[in-house]
A and B are shown apart, each in its own frame.
Chain A
C-alpha cells in the first residue's frame, strides 16, 4: 500500500475507534459518581485548551499574530452578549483587517 493510502486507512480506523470508545463502551449507562464529576468538567477544560492552541499555537512555538486581534475582537463581542455568528464574523473580519495593515 502507498504511504498515502496507508495514512488514510490508519488515521481513519484510529479516529473511528477514538470517537466510538465512550458511546460504545459506556453507552446509556450512567457514569459512576466518582467519574461523573470530573467528566462534567471536561467541557471547560478542553474548550479552554482549544482557545489557547487555536489562538497562539504554532509549530512548537507560541505565535502572536493577527489571530490575537481577531480573538480580542471576538472576546469583546462575547462580552457584549453578541450571538455566536456575530462573534465569529467579528473575529474573522478583525483578523483579516489586521493582516491588511500589518
Chain B
C-alpha cells in the first residue's frame, strides 16, 4: 500500500510544481483583491480547486457580491460531481473516510491516476492528491508572503502548460470509437459554449458528450 502512495506522489511531483506556482499566483492576487491573509489560506485548505478560487478573487476584487462569487465558483466546481462519480467505486471504508479522501479530487490527481497502466487505484490517487494538496497550500502561503514581488506567472507560459497537460492525458484515453466521439463532442460542446456562458458551464456541458458518445456504434 505504501508503495502505491509513493507511486502516486512520484507520478504527480512535476505537476505539483506547476500547481504550486499557480496557487502562488492565487495568494498574490487574493492579497491584492483585499481578501486579507487568513481567508485565502482557509480557502486553499478547504476549497482546493484552482479555477474556482481565482473566480472568487476576481469577483470580490471587482466589488462583486458574495452571492456572485459563490455562484461562479459552484458553476466551475460542478464538474467534480461527475468526476467523483466516475471513480466512486474505487473508494472503500466508512462514509466519513470516503468523505475525507474525496477532498483530494482535483483535475490533475484524477486524470493522472486514470492514465496509470494498472488502472485507477485509490492509494495512488491519494498519494498524488496529498502531494498536490501540500503544494497548493504551500504555494498560497508563499504567494501571500511575497505579495506582488513575483509578477505574472503567465509570462513563463504557465497558462499554456495546463491545456498541454490535459491534451497529453486525453490522448491515451482515445481508445475505441465511443471514446473518440465522447472527446470530440466534449471538446466541441465546450468550444461552442465558451463565448455564451459563464466559465465552468462549458466543461459541465462537455461532460454530456460521454452520454452521447456511449450511443455511438
A contact set with B: CB distance below 8 Å = 3-8, 10-12, 14-16, 18-31, 37-58, 60-62, 66-67, 69-71, 73-75, 77-78, 84-85, 87-97, 99
Residue contact A8 to B42, C-beta cutoff 8 Å: yes
User: Contacts A12-B47, A66-B157, A94-B160 hold; do A49 and B190 have CB atoms under 8 A apart?
Assistant: yes
User: Contacts A29-B89, A88-B14 hold; do A50 and B203 have CB atoms under 8 A apart?
Assistant: yes
Q: How many residues of B contact A (CB 8 A)?
A: 99
CB-defined contacts of A70 to chain B, threshold 8 Å: 157, 159-161, 163-164
CB-defined contacts of A49 to chain B, threshold 8 Å: 186-187, 189-190, 202-203, 205-207, 209
Task: Quote the shortest CB–CB distance from A19 to chain B (angstroms).
Answer: 5
Task: Quote the shortest CB–CB distance from B85 to chain A (angstroms).
Answer: 4
User: Contacts A15-B49, A50-B166, A52-B191 hold; do A3 and B81 have CB atoms under 8 A apart?
Assistant: no
CB-defined contacts of A62 to chain B, threshold 8 Å: 191, 194-195
CB-defined contacts of B187 to chain A, threshold 8 Å: 48-49, 51-52
B contact set with A: CB distance below 8 Å = 14-15, 18, 34-36, 39, 42-43, 46-49, 52-53, 56, 59-60, 65-66, 69-70, 73-74, 77-92, 95, 98-99, 101-103, 105, 107, 111-112, 114, 155-171, 173-174, 178-180, 182-187, 189-191, 194-199, 202-203, 205-211, 213-214
Residue contact A40 to B95, C-beta cutoff 8 Å: no
Residue contact A22 to B102, C-beta cutoff 8 Å: yes
Question: 10 tightest A-B contacts by CB?
Answer: A70-B160, A49-B206, A74-B164, A22-B84, A45-B186, A91-B164, A92-B157, A95-B160, A95-B157, A48-B187
CB-defined contacts of A78 to chain B, threshold 8 Å: 164, 167-168, 171
Residue contact A3 to B80, C-beta cutoff 8 Å: no
Task: Quote the shortest CB–CB distance from B99 to chain A (angstroms).
Answer: 5
A-side binding surface: helix, strand, loop or mixed? helix
CB-defined contacts of A66 to chain B, threshold 8 Å: 157, 160
User: Contacts A49-B206, A91-B157 hold; do A11 and B102 have CB atoms under 8 A apart?
Assistant: no
User: Contacts A10-B66, A37-B214 hold; do A47 and B194 have CB atoms under 8 A apart?
Assistant: no
